[in-house]
Structure 1
Amino acid sequence: MVRLLNVYTISSFVSLAGLLYGFDIASVSGIVATEQYKEYYGNPLGIRQGAITGAIAAGSLAGALRSSFLVTIQLGAVLWCIGVSLQSSSTGVAMLVIGRIFAGLCIGITTVLVPVYQCEIAPRRIRGRIVALQHFGFAWGILIQYFIQYGCSFLNSQAVFRLPWAIQAIPGILLFMGLFWLPQSPRWLASKNRWDEVLKVLAFLRTPDCDTNDPLVLAEYKEIEEQAREHDEKWNTYRELFGKKLRKRLFIAMAVQGWSQLGGVTVMLYGIILAFESAGISNPRLATSIFYIIFIVATIPTILWTDHWGRRSSLLVGSLSLAFWFCISGGLFMRFGEPNPDLDQPYTWIIVDQPIVSRCIQASLYLISASFAMSWGPIEWLYPPEIIPLHVRCKAVSLSTSTHYGINLGWALSVLSVWQKIRWGLFFISAAIYLAACIHVWLQIPETKQRTLEEMDEIFEHGDQLWRSFTGATYSGRLDLLAKDFEQGEVNIHPGRRHDMGRPAVSQTLFDGTAG
């Protein structure tokens, strides 16, 4: 019989945080084109609309920077509900922006803590699959919110935008309530020296009968204990994080998040309907819904197989694919487009009466969606918490996620103005960024699939070129060998940290004030 609470169901539930992020992305995309929104908020364009769109990224940036040591996911859910209330009742642009900043604080908090939590509770064999569920929730949030907006678009009142914004509170409330029944991360418990709970939670997560004498459970406990003991005397501060030993990993984590956002795909998710309108698509709302459906479907192969084909290969293939389809889209706009005579539109370059070209651009944009969802989208959340040691993991992921939102904020504030000025050139800029990302991945990003979190030191400290030694890294077998030693009685866990073998208590909050 399958237990209700296991790694899959726990990770799927906390992926409600990704759903919130997706709700935010789509909370603007389907509304900006409605007449009710334009009339009530004074038809915001350029920097003004950029401020509305980017307010969530500003709040997310602040939330990400503080989430490693001050707040919890549950507090984030409360901030989300406050932000949703302000947005749905806003009387002007200022109140709307403030509401989106509050919601952004939640996004910043949860997108730091949830991938860390998922990474730390997952067995090494399916860690990629488990953390990819965060992106899957994100994709579903976009689609669900977009269809809510589509249904509300037939209303002839302010409910066109107020109702979709208000409905966003529902997953926030569910997330807040459900966290009381989830176990804490065993590695976070280790960082707090709560060793009796570490073994119980590991047994709960790894065995169907919560067997704390299981050799693999004891082996994983031993690895966690050894790494924690190694860092007992360390500072556990940002000074150490930027030190010689760890800064390479920190900058790689920041680069993975940075390259993903520099290409502009996430910002495209906010305003893809405008791209379809400028391309001359007759039904841009239908085209946008298909774009979001593809974004979900293309994530499924990554969930199923990323632990087989690896992180590095996904990023390499994704970079080349994104660069190619951005070039195709930009080339079609450049060759067949013309200036837009309507100066009140947010785009100044359009495709007119060329249905074949419009369909080709539409197909290229769909393939951009699929390429990102199969590569950079899930991997950018998985890779940073994988490669950072336990004692500074949350601080490092906080900084890498801040890179994500800092770049996202810059794009949100400037993309409409840039789109109006350089038009199709924006596609070629994105293509160049992903080509540069491909080169960086090839030279600096090692493979981490199948490795335990405690084995990452071995990958980054062996002294050889990262791209040569670990191009096709596979599991070293160390955990299984250690488990065999436990089975044969040759190794024991620390005698000073032996504890009773009862069933772990799971009706606890996820975090106690720091990330787990």
Structure 2
Amino acid sequence: MAGGPVAAGGGIGGTGTPKNKWSGILMTAFAAFGGILFGYDTGVIGGVKVMDSWLRTFGKDNGSGTYGISTSTESLVVSILSAGTFFGALLAAPMGDFLGRKWGIVSACLVFSFGVALQMGAKAIPLFVVGRIFAGLGVGMVSCLVPMYQSECSPKWIRGAVVSCYQWAITIGLLLASIVNNATQHRPNNSAWQIPTGIQFIWALILAAGMSLLPESPRYLIKRHRDEDAAHALARLLSASPHDPEVSVELDEIRANLRAEEELGESSYADCFKMTHNKILFRVLSGIFLQAWQQLTGINFIFYYGTTFFKRSGISDPFLISVATNVVNVGMTVPGIWLVDRAGRRSLLLIGAAGMLFCEYIVAIVGVAVSDTNLAAQKVLIAFVCIYIAFFAATWGPIAWVITGEIFPLNVRAKAMSMATASNWLWNFGIGYATPYLVNPGAGNANLGVKVFFIWGSTCVGCLIFTYFCIPETKGLSLEAIDVLYQNTTPIHSVAYRRRLIAEEEALGPVGMQEKELGHEKEKSGEHLESV
């Protein structure tokens, strides 16, 4: 689902597991709380838009004493958040450079809270939609700044797991929303939907207050030439004195990484689409399309429209089923966090795509072949939807974002990541906007209903093919070694070549790999100039 983490930078710490690194892990893990904002908002809107009190406030009388909204209104209300997040993600980079990572996150919480306030006070759809746009701006900024802060402050040996915690927080937010929706749905007045909506103020307050107490990213401070502040920030992350030799070593490594970036020079967005020995174009397009395929798995159909879908499938308590699916989503993200640095990225994506396409075809076939009043069919449908969610949560949910943060070259990393993030939000918006027209009955709609799972199953075939040919195995490699992997092999043969690189990196060390890569870049640049 959208809003997952994008790793930026090389993190801190070596390849070991020193005991004083755990304080930094806990601090950066707290920043993952930002995922609650997006997950909870997604879950809330999926539930409140079918509540009677919300429909009476924003809908129209259908003539039979019941209230409803048009397909176009439902599409707009659900998807407009993603439009806001698209622009929020683009604003995050300059905001993070101007205010810093942590104060940028605090500012994003304020923007988000303003959007929530507009929704709470709305009496008509236009103001409610504007509120969701501002909430989306806040979520979009958080979706870039939180993972950026995490990856720059967390130890390298556990970077993948720490950054994946942001995705886990999104699933927890979805679960909390489904629980609150289930508890308030039968209230007789507007508090039925205002309570779930207003609780979002609490999540924003917790994140803003907590981030204000955490240290700033040492990498950001070094980049701003605030070396003394960087030493104090890193000392807090390592539970050490600012004058500790280990702090000095870590700062030297950060400076070496930044020098490498500066010597490679500033790159434009046009440089992201150049055919080079470093396969920049291939890598950038891989990241952009990886985010697109993650959305095309159809997962947000369940979390945006799951309550409506289960209701129309004949299930008597769709709110309770939504709680169950979110419990599965939260629980199965944990194995993904544990496996990402053990089983590998590529293999898990392949397994996840295969598992999801099987489950989605089963759901579609059962839904078409058996009446929605058949109790056994309902149980099969629910079971395979839950298994499908489990495959996504343990694979494509967190791992697609980890890979996106690893595969881009040093000199275009920030710009490439911003485009990949924007791609995710753009597809999130498109799918969220189109889905009601695909599944709803009525004139002008496709009225696919459960048959929409034939589409999601087919797109998972695309996920499988794309991963096999375009995504290499990067488990255990530094960001510098990943550059070397792309230059010398293909994704299909990456597993064997990766073992060789790990042995080489252990011999040279991270700084040695950086210097080797920088020298290689200069050599290639010189060869290019001679040919010209």
TM-score, normalised with respect to structure 2: 0.82
CA displacement at 1:384 relative to structure 2: 1.4
Could you say which residue in structure 1 is the equivalent of 2:530?
A: none
CA displacement at 1:10 relative to structure 2: 1.9
CA displacement at 1:291 relative to structure 2: 0.5
Could you say which residue in structure 1 is the equivalent of 2:338?
A: 304
CA displacement at 1:226 relative to structure 2: 4.8
Note closer, same or farther for the CA distance 1:467–1:200 as it changes in structure 2 (3 Å cut). farther
What are the equivalent positions in structure 2 for 1:243-254 lying under 5 Å apart? 243-245=274-276, 246-254=280-288
CA displacement at 1:485 relative to structure 2: 10
| Paired residue secondary structure (2:502) | coil
| Match among 293, 304, 307 for residue 270 of structure 1 | 304
Could you say which residue in structure 2 is the equivalent of 1:290?
A: 324
The CA distance in 1 between the partners of 2:170 and 2:155, in whole Å, is 22
Could you say which residue in structure 2 is the equivalent of 1:506?
A: none
| Match among 170, 173, 179 for residue 138 of structure 1 | 170
Residue 241 of structure 1 pairs with residue 266 of structure 2? no
Identical columns (%): 25
Could you say which residue in structure 2 is the equivalent of 1:39?
A: 56
Could you say which residue in structure 1 is the equivalent of 2:436?
A: 416
Deviations 1:378-416 (CA, angstroms, capped at 9, x unpaired): 112222122224554332222111111111111111101
The CA distance in 1 between the partners of 2:338 and 2:418, in whole Å, is 27
Could you say which residue in structure 2 is the equivalent of 1:508?
A: none
Could you say which residue in structure 2 is the equivalent of 1:444?
A: 470
Contact kept, 8 Å, 1:81 with 1:103, in 2: the verdict is yes
CA displacement at 1:70 relative to structure 2: 3.3
CA displacement at 1:144 relative to structure 2: 1.1
Residue 382 of structure 1 pairs with residue 402 of structure 2? yes
| Match among 329, 341, 353 for residue 363 of structure 2 | 329
Residue 317 of structure 1 pairs with residue 365 of structure 2? no
Determine which structure has greater relative contact order: mean sequence separation of CA pairs < 8 Å that are 6+ residues apart, divided by chain length. Answer: 1
Could you say which residue in structure 2 is the equivalent of 1:182?
A: 214
Deviations 1:264-309 (CA, angstroms, capped at 9, x unpaired): 2123211111222222222222111110001000011112221001
The CA distance in 1 between the partners of 2:351 and 2:264, in whole Å, is 42
Could you say which residue in structure 2 is the equivalent of 1:453?
A: 479
Contact kept, 8 Å, 2:92 with 2:140, in 1: the verdict is yes
CA displacement at 1:58 relative to structure 2: 0.7
The CA distance in 1 between the partners of 2:366 and 2:307, in whole Å, is 18
Note closer, same or farther for the CA distance 1:483–1:213 as it changes in structure 2 (3 Å cut). farther
Mean CA deviation greater in 383-392 or 79-88: 383-392
What are the equivalent positions in structure 2 for 1:94-173 lying under 5 Å apart? 94-173=126-205
The CA distance in 2 between the partners of 1:483 and 1:396, in whole Å, is 26
Residue 225 of structure 1 pairs with residue 259 of structure 2? no
Deviations 1:173-222 (CA, angstroms, capped at 9, x unpaired): 2222222222333443454455565566556545766674239x737843
Note closer, same or farther for the CA distance 1:391–1:179 as it changes in structure 2 (3 Å cut). farther
Contact kept, 8 Å, 1:183 with 1:201, in 2: the verdict is yes
The CA distance in 2 between the partners of 1:213 and 1:383, in whole Å, is 32
Counterpart of 2:269 in structure 1: which amino acid?
Answer: Y
Could you say which residue in structure 2 is the equivalent of 1:23?
A: 40
The CA distance in 2 between the partners of 1:317 and 1:209, in whole Å, is 45
Residue 470 of structure 1 pairs with residue 490 of structure 2? no
Note closer, same or farther for the CA distance 1:228–1:90 as it changes in structure 2 (3 Å cut). same
Counterpart of 2:462 in structure 1: which amino acid?
Answer: A
Contact kept, 8 Å, 1:296 with 1:373, in 2: the verdict is yes
Note closer, same or farther for the CA distance 1:324–1:103 as it changes in structure 2 (3 Å cut). same
The CA distance in 1 between the partners of 2:19 and 2:187, in whole Å, is 45
Residue 12 of structure 1 pairs with residue 29 of structure 2? yes
The CA distance in 2 between the partners of 1:323 and 1:264, in whole Å, is 10
| Number of aligned residue pairs | 471
Deviations 1:468-501 (CA, angstroms, capped at 9, x unpaired): 0336835725565456999xxxx9xxxxxxxxxx
Note closer, same or farther for the CA distance 1:414–1:224 as it changes in structure 2 (3 Å cut). same
TM-score, normalised with respect to structure 1: 0.84
Could you say which residue in structure 1 is the equivalent of 2:15?
A: none
The CA distance in 1 between the partners of 2:432 and 2:263, in whole Å, is 42
CA displacement at 1:232 relative to structure 2: 2.7
Could you say which residue in structure 1 is the equivalent of 2:89?
A: 64
Note closer, same or farther for the CA distance 1:85–1:471 as it changes in structure 2 (3 Å cut). farther
The CA distance in 2 between the partners of 1:260 and 1:21, in whole Å, is 17
| Paired residue secondary structure (1:140) | helix
Residue 434 of structure 1 pairs with residue 460 of structure 2? yes
Unaligned runs of 5+ in 1: 338-350, 492-516
CA displacement at 1:317 relative to structure 2: 0.6
Could you say which residue in structure 1 is the equivalent of 2:4?
A: none
Could you say which residue in structure 2 is the equivalent of 1:496?
A: none
The CA distance in 2 between the partners of 1:227 and 1:129, in whole Å, is 24
Bigger share in helix? 2
Contact kept, 8 Å, 1:115 with 1:381, in 2: the verdict is no
Contact kept, 8 Å, 2:223 with 2:258, in 1: the verdict is no
The CA distance in 1 between the partners of 2:427 and 2:262, in whole Å, is 33
Counterpart of 1:51 in structure 2: which amino acid?
Answer: L
| Paired residue secondary structure (1:232) | helix
The CA distance in 2 between the partners of 1:87 and 1:78, in whole Å, is 15
| Paired residue secondary structure (2:95) | coil
Note closer, same or farther for the CA distance 1:385–1:198 as it changes in structure 2 (3 Å cut). farther
Unaligned runs of 5+ in 2: 1-17, 60-67, 97-103, 441-445, 516-532
Deviations 1:7-51 (CA, angstroms, capped at 9, x unpaired): 322222211210000111111122122111111111213111110
